[in-house]
Amino acid sequence: MRRGFTLVELMVVVLVIGVILGISIPTFRSILKKAPLEQAISEVEAKCRNARSKAILNNRVIEVYLSEIENIVALNTTARTVTETRFGPNMENRVIEDGEELERVELEADLQVITPRGEEFNGELTLRFYPNGTAEPVELRVFGETGSYILTVDQVTGHTTVVNEEELQ
């Protein structure tokens, strides 16, 4: 009795592997196509969460700068104002430190601010997170060729919510 596989058995195994690869490659391509969009919404959400936690931990206002024009999200500290009042008329010393940029990310998908969008909106928005955990409310759309996501920042809790826009329809 010989040990080993016949040529027919090997051909069947190769055929099964070929069918599995044929089915999985288109799915894998669609996952790779969605990757920049998924990465972009993940970056925006991470920056918002990071800003909220830094604001609470450092007891300082942290800003998230969003630019529709450049598709940039940056995390900044606000300028810290130290005021010392002395006795006497108008004897006030103020020291202002420039807000430093903590992190900056360029998105590989398009960014659109939905609200607030007033008359003076120029494509740039600074979203502030406060030391008590609250934030300025905002609704953003991050979109690409494969779809779009809506990110909402709650004013009271400062938490972010991400929803796939296709699921809303």
Whether 22 is in a domain gets the answer no
- In 1-155, the DSSP E strands lie at 62-67, 72-77, 81-85, 92-96, 101-106, 110-115, 124-129, 138-144, 147-153
115 lies in some domain: yes
* 96 is a domain residue: yes
Nearest to 144 by CA among 25, 69, 41: 41
List the domain range (segments joined by +) for residue 71.
34-168
Residue 9 covered by a domain: no
Residue 118 lies in a domain: yes
Q: Read off the pLDDT of each residue in 117-126 and give the average, rounded to a whole number.
A: 70
Residue 5 falls inside a structural domain: no
Q: Answer yes or no: is 134 within a domain.
A: yes
Q: What does the pLDDT look like over 24-73, one tens digit per residue?
A: 887 777 666 667 778 888 888 888 998 899 889 988 888 888 887 887 77
Q: What is the CATH number of the domain that holds 42?
A: 3.55.40.10
What does the block give as tokens for 135?
């934030």
pLDDT of residue 19: 92
| Mean pLDDT score across all residues of the chain | 77
When comparing pLDDT for 8 and 3, which is higher? 8
Distance CA 83, CA 76 (A): 21
**23 inside domain:** no
Q: Provide CB contacts within 8 A for 118, sequence distance 6+.
A: none
Number of domains in the chain: 1
